[in-house]
Each structure stands twice: as structure tokens, then as C-alpha cells.
Amino acid sequence: MPEPRPDYRFARRPWWILSHLFAAGMVVLMVNLGFWQLRRLDERRTHNALIESRQDLPPAPLGELLPAGPASSPEEVAEVAYRMVVLRGRYALDEQVLVRNRTSEGLPGYWVVTPLVLDDGTAVAVNRGWVPFASTDPEGPWPQYDPPAASVTVTGMVQEPQVRAGGLVGGPVDAPEGRLWTLSRVDVGRLAQQVAQPMWPLYVNLASQEPAQGELPQPVPPPDLSEGPHLGYAGQWFVFAGLTVIVYPLLLRRVARHRGREAVEA
């Protein structure tokens, strides 16, 4: 007995039309997500190239990079982000803070941020590195992490200050007034409220220091210059889109054959 002809009349019913539209919409969505991940990959590569080009330049005094000093604009700071700089001055121990919820190799802890008072009387927030969560009381001061009291020379990487993203629901908020021992992020503007000296609108991730500090804090590693998972995610979305294009027609054909056999039997 020959195989009955497939019956596709079911595919014109309203529910199935919605199913076709849904499948087509999912294919369009997945293809767009794939191209979005490729755009993210291009952005990541461009950003990595920018970081590499800047951090490979020789360290320079901060005043040469930002002649306006503490009055520098956010745009001017962005132009020198990731540049290596050399700072000379004395740490203001009484104004040291911890930045909460920072990890190192999966372990929870803090960043130790200490204002460095330069020879001209201005101050730069220096992220001296990470300390483990269990090793310190969040209410300072913390004499076990005190840097040298004498003048120091710090080499580090310029970073733009961290601010709370607008509209972030449920994100941590620091008290707007009073002396804070810990901060949610390296918010230089908030730190400046409790520092006596004029502060530069940036912070510096310490890379090395003379005289050197102890084993703790551990300096924060340089930025991750990997390409991330974007290429893999793009490939997954394209594969999902291709499978939908192949599998959905096969599903329709299977249902049509089943309907055709039912019609012959009837």
C-alpha cells in the first residue's frame, strides 16, 4: 500500500498560524542575538586594544597627564584611564576606607583604598589591593594594613571613579553624610566628603610601591584582556536558529503525514 500523501491543511488553522509566527519570531530573535554578541565581541576587542595601547606607555607623573589637577573633567579622566602613573607623597591613614564585596580567586574580601597626599597638597585615592573578608573588622581603623608612614613612590594604573548606575534597583547605597569606614564602590566623590585635601577625580590601582608594602593588601591584577564568551555565545545562538529552521519544518511534515494516514483510515 503506498504511503498516504501528507495532509497540510491543519497548518492553516489559527493555532498553527500562531505557532508559525512564533517559530519565525524566535529565529529572527536568535539571529539578532547572535549578531549582538558579535558586536559585543568587537567592542571588547576595541576596548582591549585601547587598554593595551595605554598601559604599554611609560609611567608618567599624574600632573603631566591631567594639568587641570583635581578640577579635571570626567572626559579628561577617561582620556587617560589605564595609563600608568607615578605618584609621590604620604598616605593619609586616618582617611583610609574599605570597599566591600571584592573577590580574589573566588574568596570574599575588601579593597583597601587610602588617600595619598601629594607634595602639592592634593590627594589621590590609591587602591592598595585586596584583603580577605575574615581578616578584618569593617569598622576601622586597621593598623595591620597601615602603609609606611614615610614618603612613598607609587606606580599604578589610572581608573575612572566608580558610581552607582542610574536606575539600579536594589543596588547598594552609601550614606550621603557622616564618616564612613566602608564604601560600596570606589566612589571618589563620596570619599572626598571626608578627606581634608582636594581630591583628584580618579583612583589609581597600585602596581608597585617603594618602600614596598607587606603581603597584604594584595595588589589588584591588571584588567582582563581576554575576549570573553561572546564568540561562543554567538555561535550558540546561530546554531539554535539553524536547528529551529530545520526541526520545525520536520515537525510539520511529521504531523502532516500522521494526518494523511488518519484521513485514509477514515
pLDDT tens-digit series, residues 21-37: 999 999 999 999 999 99
Structure confidence at residue 137 (pLDDT): 63
Residue range 124-168, pLDDT digits in tens:
999 999 998 876 666 666 777 888 778 999 999 999 999 876 544
* Band (93; pLDDT cuts 50, 70, 90): confident
Name the residue ranges covered by the structural domains of the chain.
9-45+227-265, 83-164+172-210
Structure confidence at residue 168 (pLDDT): 46
Task: Flag whether pLDDT at 169 surpasses 50.
Answer: no
Percent of the residues in the chain that have a pLDDT greater than 70, as a whole number: 92
Structure confidence at residue 167 (pLDDT): 47
Whole-structure pTM value: 0.78
Task: Flag whether pLDDT at 241 surpasses 50.
Answer: yes
Q: Does residue 217 come out as left (phi exceeding 0), alpha (psi in the -120 to 50 range) or beta?
A: beta
Examine residue 211 and say whether the peptide bond preceding it is cis (omega within 30 degrees of 0): yes
CATH class of the region 83-164+172-210: mainly beta
How far apart CA 163 and CA 63 sit, in angstroms, is 24
How far apart CA 192 and CA 124 sit, in angstroms, is 10
Task: Flag whether pLDDT at 10 surpasses 90.
Answer: no
How far apart CA 44 and CA 144 sit, in angstroms, is 39
Task: Flag whether pLDDT at 201 surpasses 60.
Answer: yes
CA distance between the termini of the chain: 16
How far apart CA 13 and CA 33 sit, in angstroms, is 30
Average pLDDT taken over every residue of the chain: 89
Rounded to an integer, the average pLDDT of 165-178 is 70
Higher pLDDT, 87 or 214: 87
Higher pLDDT, 160 or 258: 160
Say which residues have a Cβ less than 8 Å from residue 103's Cβ, sequence separation at least 6: 109, 130
Task: Flag whether pLDDT at 107 surpasses 60.
Answer: yes
